[in-house]
Structure 1
Amino acid sequence: MIYLDHNAATPIAPEVREEMLRVLEIYGNPSSLHEEGQKARSLLDESRAKVAAFIGAFPDEIIFTSGGTEANNIAVHSFAGSSAAVSAIEHSSVLKPFEYLAAKGVRVHHLPADSGGIVSAGNIPAGVSLVSVMLANNDTGVIQPVRKATEAAHAAGALFHTDAVQAAGKIRINVRELGADILTLSAHKMYAPKGIGALFVRRGLKASPLMQGGSQEKAVRPGTESTVLAAAFAKACETAEKRMEKDEAEIARLRDMLESLITAKVTDCRINGLGSPRVSGTSNITFSGLKGDSLIINLDLAGLCVSGGSACSSADFRPSHVLTAMGLSDGDARASVRFSLGRGTTEEEIVRAAETVADTVSSMRGKTW
């Protein structure tokens, strides 16, 4: 089996697994005042500081959540106000909360993307309270001009939120340099377990809870914190910090090889976002005339794991809203497949994957190249 779906979930890194086993012995509740509780509190504080350092934030600006979806929902519900702007290519965990608020009367403006997948955020409508533009797109890997978008948002008097889930660990992130007020992270895209994420909220801002309960996580995310998951997330950040440049250079080389091999072997295919800045491991390719879901199933039967885009939308049979926002027809959007590479991907796997794609496409089209 060749796994090229790292944008959906990454395997747990050995360093992270070892850290999880080590901290399993720290079993106290971090809200308890006794010795065991304070051991857990110390571990949680250390983990928060490491996640904060990874993005250039202060520890008290980090709120641990169950993942990117919860963090995005907290961000949108807390700061959208009566009018907000969001890019047309956001993850569903950003778009859906905005849709919910729009149904409640909030004015939501959608910022378009060009054919290269770049969001145009130069003209922010007057009166908006929040602008949300992701840092790297989950379908295409296209990196957005977030610094420019932040400046435009602030010039319009709005706060700025960026979903950095697919960027973290792939490109350097510094919230001060980006100028972001709110930023979202998720551990399972960074070789850590599922079930934990983080929301950066700049000092001076106050997020609102989605749930009612205790005072954990600055009373924004009530419930007993998972010290094990927090420590795993922190270790993943530490590991990424040390090896990011080397990893991403190799992954980019393999991604380029995959694209070259596939486009050489398969006619009527197109790389979406080619020419735009992209994170290293993502390649979205349209195979004209095919149904993407059928191609994905056939590739899986041939031993290759890929996807049609966000795993969170896999049950939604509509074409990718990201690709249609870039101008693709519904048919071409449905004929697109996302390949996402990771640390463990090898050159041998890339060669085999390209051959598998070529053979499978040929079989489905009933042609021979």
Structure 2
Amino acid sequence: MIYLDHNASTPTAPEVREEMLRTIEIYGNPSSLHEEGQKARGLLDESRAKIAAFIGAFPDEIVFTSGGTEANNIAVQGFTDSAAAVSSIEHSSVLKPFEFLAARGLKLHRFPAGSSGIISTDSLPDGVSIVSLMLVNNDTGVIQPVRKAAEEAHAKGALFHTDAVQAAGKIRINVRELGVDLLSISAHKMYAPKGIGALFVRRGLKASPLMFGGNQEKAARPGTESTLLASAFAKACEIAEERMEEDEMRIARLRDMLETLIKSNVDGCLVNGAEAPRVSGTSNISFSGLKGDSLIINLDLAGLCVSGGSACSSADFKASHVLTAMGRTEDEARSSVRFSLGRETAEAEIFRAAEIVAETVSAMRGRTW
């Protein structure tokens, strides 16, 4: 099986598994005052400091969450007042909280996307309390002009949030250089386990919590922290810091090879976002005349794991809102497949993946290309 769905989730790195085996014996509650509790507190503080350093933050600016979805929800619901602005290509964990608030009276402005997938925030209205624009789009891999957008938001007195879940570990992130107030990341996109993420909250800001309980994570996210998952997350950040440039160059070469091979052997292909800056491992391709969900299933049966950027189920396959926002037709958006490469993707797998795509598309179209 060839796995090209790293944007959905990554395998746990061997070094991260080793770290978990080391720290699983630290079982105390970090909020307890006794020796075992303080061992856990020490590990949690150490992990928080490493994750903070990875994004250029202070340790006390890191709030642990259960993942990117919760981090985004805290950012949106914890800081939004009467009006907000959001891009049209955000992940559902950003869009849906805003839509929830809009149904209850929030004035919501949406930034349009250009055909390349780049968002322009020039239309930012006055009076918004928060602006949200993702750093890297999960469907296309397009890198967004977050620094410029943050400057525009601050000029109008708004806070700025970025969903950096698909950026962390792929490009360098520094919250000071980006100028953001809030930033979300997730461990399982970075070769660590599912179940933990983090929200950067700039010093001086305090989130309104979604849940109520103890005072863990400055009461922004009550509940006993997982020292095991925090240490795994921190280890993943250390590894990414060490090998990011090396991984990026190699994976970019493989992605370009995959796109070239597919375009050379399959007619009717459109690479979405190819004309914009992208992270190295993401390729979103529309295959004319086909339905993305059927193609994904057939590719899986042939030994290739990929995904659609859109919501997919056997009963209801929706066109990617990202691609339609970029001006793609419903048919083009429905025919898209996302290939996302990772650290362990091999060149031989790329050649074979391209063969599988060509063979599967040909069989589904009922003709030889």
TM range (shorter): over 0.9
Deviation of 1:123 after TM superposition, in Å, equals 2.4
The one-letter amino acid of 1:13's match is: A
1:108-164 CA-to-partner distances (Å, cap 9, x unmatched) read 100000000000112211000000000000000000000110111111110000000
Q: Look up the match of 1:341.
A: 341
Q: Look up the match of 2:312.
A: 314
The one-letter amino acid of 1:362's match is: S
- Give the alignment's TM-score, normalised by structure 2: 0.99
* Structure 1 vs Structure 2 CA RMSD: 0.7
Deviation of 1:290 after TM superposition, in Å, equals 0.2
- Does the 8 Å contact 1:169/1:240 carry over to 2? yes
Secondary structure of 2:355 counterpart: helix
Deviation of 1:317 after TM superposition, in Å, equals 2.1
1:52-111 CA-to-partner distances (Å, cap 9, x unmatched) read 000000000000000000000000001111000000000000000000000010001000
Q: Look up the match of 1:96.
A: 96
Output the CA distance in 1 between the equivalents of 2:338 and 2:145.
22
Output the CA distance in 1 between the equivalents of 2:225 and 2:294.
41
Output the CA distance in 2 between the equivalents of 1:81 and 1:344.
44
Output the CA distance in 1 between the equivalents of 2:281 and 2:51.
22
Matches within 5 A, 1:270-289: 270-289=270-289
1:144 and 2:144 matched: yes
Output the CA distance in 2 between the equivalents of 1:120 and 1:289.
31
1:292-324 CA-to-partner distances (Å, cap 9, x unmatched) read 0000000000000000026xx334621000000
Secondary structure of 2:343 counterpart: coil
Matches within 5 A, 1:34-183: 34-183=34-183
1:262 and 2:262 matched: yes
Unmatched runs of 5 consecutive residues or more in structure 1 = none
- Does the 8 Å contact 1:123/1:152 carry over to 2? no
Secondary structure of 1:249 counterpart: helix
Secondary structure of 2:199 counterpart: strand
- Does the 8 Å contact 2:54/2:173 carry over to 1? yes
- Does the 8 Å contact 2:293/2:312 carry over to 1? no
The one-letter amino acid of 1:63's match is: V
Secondary structure of 2:76 counterpart: helix
Output the CA distance in 2 between the equivalents of 1:303 and 1:317.
22
Unmatched runs of 5 consecutive residues or more in structure 2 = none
1:220-271 CA-to-partner distances (Å, cap 9, x unmatched) read 1111100000000000000000000001100000000000000000001010
Secondary structure of 2:128 counterpart: coil
Output the CA distance in 2 between the equivalents of 1:185 and 1:160.
15
Q: Look up the match of 1:199.
A: 199
Output the CA distance in 1 between the equivalents of 2:360 and 2:200.
43
Secondary structure of 2:85 counterpart: strand
The one-letter amino acid of 1:230's match is: A
- Does the 8 Å contact 2:71/2:198 carry over to 1? yes
The one-letter amino acid of 1:117's match is: G
The one-letter amino acid of 2:221's match is: R
Output the CA distance in 2 between the equivalents of 1:308 and 1:248.
23
Secondary structure of 2:115 counterpart: coil
The one-letter amino acid of 2:24's match is: L
Secondary structure of 1:19 counterpart: helix
Output the CA distance in 2 between the equivalents of 1:49 and 1:184.
16
The one-letter amino acid of 1:44's match is: L
Secondary structure of 2:180 counterpart: coil
The one-letter amino acid of 1:278's match is: R
Q: Look up the match of 1:246.
A: 246
Output the CA distance in 1 between the equivalents of 2:79 and 2:113.
23
- How many residues in Structure 1 have an aligned counterpart in Structure 2? 367
The one-letter amino acid of 1:272's match is: N
Output the CA distance in 1 between the equivalents of 2:75 and 2:201.
8
Quick one: percent identity of the two aligned structures? 78
Output the CA distance in 2 between the equivalents of 1:266 and 1:165.
32
The one-letter amino acid of 1:5's match is: D
